[in-house]
Chains A and B, each alone.
Chain A
Amino acid sequence: MPAGADVGEVHYAAVKAVSASQNYVALFECTVKAAPVPEPEVVEEESGVMGAVITTALVTAAIAAALFFFVL
């Protein structure tokens, strides 16, 4: 199939054969279909590591504060 063929373009090819004194013809109708659309790339979160650091810091601060007031 030509690489530059348009979607919907129809092409034909045929083969003839002889077997046991009988003649045959096969006709093949080939229609160009669209290539599958590639799935969009998944964008990774840029702040993934930074977010984890901040979350850890906040949790640690909260625990420290709780212990501080508990001791007082």
Chain B
Amino acid sequence: MWKVSVTDRPVFAATSAALATVSGNTAFAFTGFSSTTEGVWVSGTAIPDPARARSEITQSFEVEAGKGFSVTLDVTGATASVVPEELMVDLYGEPLNLEARSLILYGEVATETAAVTTPGSEVNAIWSALPTSGATATVYPGFSW
């Protein structure tokens, strides 16, 4: 298994169109890194620090408790991943999210390797990160919380 979780999340999807989302989902569908409607990503040749991004928030919005939001990045050749919680800190090194109140990843687009059922050489199906070769027209990064 690629990821181990204490919950049954995330739900993986083999195509971006099948990304599992929470009811009442607010979708942010990026087709580039700068959009007047979806927001602007912080860029740099080095990996931008999320703390720096805090002063340049891509999207600030409201959601009802129990509902969620999703982000897809439909840019050919692009790869993406969720920033780990331990890197989600402010300029003073303090966590952005309240302790034990971080968002749980609900759905993610991933690569499925089918199970092998040949007797004697059985292999379980596995999910893994999207290939580093980048996104295609139907399979591109997508995450929901």
Contact = CB atoms under 8 A, between A and B. Distances in A.
Interface of A: 1-7, 9, 11-35
Contact of A26 (B41, B66, B97, B103): B41
A33 B44 contact: no
B67 interface: yes
Interface of B: 22, 28, 30, 33, 39, 41-50, 53-54, 56-69, 71, 73, 75, 77-83, 87-88, 96-98, 101-103, 134, 141, 143, 145
A12 B101 contact: no
Contacts of B22: 1
B82 A11 contact: no
Contacts of A12: 54, 88, 96-97, 103
A45 to B, nearest CB: 35
